[in-house]
Amino acid sequence: MTATLRGKRVAILAADGVEQVELVEPRKAVTAAGATAELVSLGPGRIQAMNGDIDKGDEFEVDKVLGDVSADDYDALLLPGGTMNPDNLRRDPAAVRFAGDFVRGGKPVGVICHGPWTLVEADVVRGRTLTSFPSVRTDIRNAGGTVVDEEVVVDGALVSSRNPGDLPAFCRAIVERFA
């Protein structure tokens, strides 16, 4: 992959329960393209990733605490899924505001699987077209978004995918959109 993202800073907003592959693979893709990616979370220390929402995965060191950063510090945002992760994030006003600030500011956002829950909570899916894990789709529609069942959907600066099976297409699309 070429260094199309050299000089770009990407925030990865995640909490305990993040789906490991949805954190690892997009981070690998943006860093391989030259970006600096920082794991931003609700508190310091480490977050526990999961595999398939059931089995514990690895722990990941938090680079920045949410209270110490703003959307202005970054060029793009990644919102990985897992069921617990976005449920934790959408209950935190600072996380909701942080994610919403990217969308409202027109900055690129990549979101996969259950990740759109945070955007629904931020009230920034209205009038947007995106995809997600099937159980999140009613929430997106109820929040005024349009849901399609496609591998990757690009709506302006918003890139979305359904599940880990979509990661190759999602990673290509976020690198392209983030550039």
| Type of residue found at 41 | S
**Of 143, 103, 145, residue with least CA distance to 127:** 145
- How far apart are alpha carbons 72 and 152 in whole angstroms? 26
- How far apart are alpha carbons 75 and 85 in whole angstroms? 22
Q: What residues are annotated to the active site?
A: 113-114
- How far apart are alpha carbons 86 and 141 in whole angstroms? 17
* Token output for 90: 């959408």
